Amino acid sequence: MSEGNVILVEDDNELRESLKEILELQGFSVTSFATADTALASLQYNSDTVVVSDIRMPVMDGITFLKHLQQLDSALPVIMISGHADIETALESIKLGAFDFVEKPLRPERLIGLVEKATQHRALTLENRRLRQQKLRDISIDELLIGQSAPMQKLKQRVITLANAEVNIVINGETGTGKEKIARTLHSQSNRKDHPFVAINCGAMPENLIESELFGHEAGSFTGANKKRIGKIEHASGGTLFLDEIESMPLTAQIRLLRVIQEGELERVGSNETVKVDLKVLSAAKGDLLSLSQEGTFRQDLYYRLNVASLDIPPLRERKSDIPQLLGHFLFQAEQRLGQKAPTLTSVHFQQLMAHDWPGNVRELMNEADRIVLGISDLIFTGSNENCHTLAHQMAQYEFSLLHHTLKQFNGHIAQAAEYLDVPRKNLYLRMKKYGLKKENYLVDFEGDDQ
């Protein structure tokens, strides 16, 4: 029996169900789609899967689908299903990068053999990429992205995976989660790190100037253009371009950006000469860019060019166990910048910090650190009459720190943490309640054992 993941795309319902059954009987895990555009949305760079797709389909035909997949991941194995009249097209698909093709009427043994071979090929590709990524790392990502919670560990691993992948990436995250920080980390961990990182907030640019800012202009191309200007995109060549609030980009600029990404060249405003550029494009939006593209407020073809891969940043409320480490970092920065010391924080303070939901995410926590140093925090008590030097307060701080690090060490498993600390589980729960610590903030792959 074989093991592997297969994405099956076939618009004929009866044939799709038949092929799905044939592959599943051989041990493959099959996800089937009636159209290529819906299948495309389920795939990412480094997807551990093989694609089997018909050539003749509505909405998006197999060749167009293959071209999108080549942009997504040129090493993704794609097996094309061809009718007798499509043999020439199937042969053309091989030239475009398809793994192989099978002809209708399908022989099950032929299809199974190709899928097994493609699965083995994909496994080798992914393992080679993993080993290559390990060798390329020369800076600890922990120095750049603070936090050891499970969501942050997952994010760091994905950043490492994508940093040296020559693909465009959409960065998703709520306001204040640090989308530009992630973009800068992707750049600094990549082979492009010695070239420019250019960040542009599209929402902050006047609409009548955005094309000139992005693409540059020639002298005299419009009123006020007294001399030639190199645009942000051209300046970023060889490095990384980060486009924040990209949904604010006017339609005309979207069309020009699409050509830059497709052709690797641009024309300055007022010029007929093309300039070659080499870019990795990172982008972020305030809303869901896919929904905006489906609604027609953002070009769908540009979205698919930008979203070859994606990164999802967890909100702070989903990684509260990182708050002490983050706050310590921000307090140190605030002390240096503001020129005064932060008051000592007690167990009550930490309890309030851990109980807060942080709708403004990491940016809100960073601002809170400034307020703590200045003694004007509304979230915690920082009055001068607080006897933070007393033994009771210092013991409480130590107890909070010990509980926090033990829970993190055992990923929120209460039984293991209680055994390690040599206390009854009931007592551990009571002490956690005292400091506002919740086991769910520390859980990793919790399967519901005796917690």
As a whole number of angstroms, the distance between CA 248 and CA 285 comes to 8
Q: Are 221 and 344 part of one and the same domain?
A: no
Q: Are 175 and 295 part of one and the same domain?
A: yes
Identify the domain boundary among 270, 288, 312.
312
pLDDT, residue 65, reads 93
Q: Are 177 and 250 part of one and the same domain?
A: yes
Instruction: Burial-class residue 357 by CB neighbours within 10 Å (0-12, 13-18, 19+).
Output: exposed
DSSP conformation class of 217? B
CATH number of the domain encompassing residue 61: 3.40.50.2300
Q: Are 121 and 215 part of one and the same domain?
A: no
The residue range of the domain holding 166 is 144-312
In a domain, 37, yes or no: yes
Instruction: Burial-class residue 430 by CB neighbours within 10 Å (0-12, 13-18, 19+).
Output: exposed
Q: Are 321 and 408 part of one and the same domain?
A: yes
In a domain, 66, yes or no: yes
In a domain, 392, yes or no: yes
Q: Are 322 and 296 part of one and the same domain?
A: no
- Is 3 in a helix, a strand, or coil? coil
Q: How many domains does the chain have?
A: 3
H-assigned helices in 26-172: 36-41, 62-72, 87-96, 108-136, 150-163
Identify the domain boundary among 290, 312, 334.
312
Q: Are 127 and 101 part of one and the same domain?
A: yes
pLDDT, residue 1, reads 46
- The phi, psi pair for 263, rounded to 5°, reads -100, -15
Q: Are 245 and 259 part of one and the same domain?
A: yes
Q: Are 269 and 162 part of one and the same domain?
A: yes
As beta bridge partners, residue 266 has: 275
In a domain, 139, yes or no: no
As a whole number of angstroms, the distance between CA 197 and CA 206 comes to 22
In a domain, 449, yes or no: no
Q: Are 274 and 419 part of one and the same domain?
A: no
Q: Are 46 and 166 part of one and the same domain?
A: no
Residue by residue, pLDDT tens for the chain (451 residues) are 457 899 999 999 999 999 999 999 999 999 999 999 889 888 888 889 999 999 999 889 999 999 999 888 889 999 999 887 778 888 889 888 999 999 888 899 999 999 999 999 998 888 888 776 665 445 567 778 888 888 999 999 999 999 999 999 999 999 999 999 999 999 999 999 989 999 999 988 887 788 888 998 787 666 666 677 888 999 999 999 999 999 999 998 999 999 999 999 998 888 888 899 999 999 999 888 999 999 988 999 999 999 999 999 999 999 988 888 888 888 888 888 898 888 877 667 777 888 889 999 999 999 999 988 888 888 775 444 444 555 665 677 678 778 888 888 888 889 999 999 989 988 898 888 777 677 877 775 333 333 3
In a domain, 294, yes or no: yes
pLDDT, residue 133, reads 65
pLDDT, residue 374, reads 86
As a whole number of angstroms, the distance between CA 301 and CA 287 comes to 18
As beta bridge partners, residue 24 has: none
pLDDT, residue 140, reads 65
CATH number of the domain encompassing residue 305: 3.40.50.300
DSSP for 4-60 reads: EEEEEE-S-HHHHHHHHHHHHHTTEEEEEESSHHHHHHT--TT-S-EEEEESS-SSS
In a domain, 93, yes or no: yes
Half-sphere exposure (CA, 13 Å, Cβ side) for 308? 24
- Is 228 in a helix, a strand, or coil? coil
CATH number of the domain encompassing residue 425: 1.10.8.60
Answer for the pair 243, 202: CB distance below 8 angstroms, yes or no: yes
Q: Are 290 and 326 part of one and the same domain?
A: no
- The phi, psi pair for 175, rounded to 5°, reads -60, 135
At 311, the amino acid letter reads L
Identify the domain boundary among 271, 290, 312.
312
Region at 102 (left for phi over 0; alpha for psi -120 to 50; beta for the rest):
beta
In a domain, 34, yes or no: yes
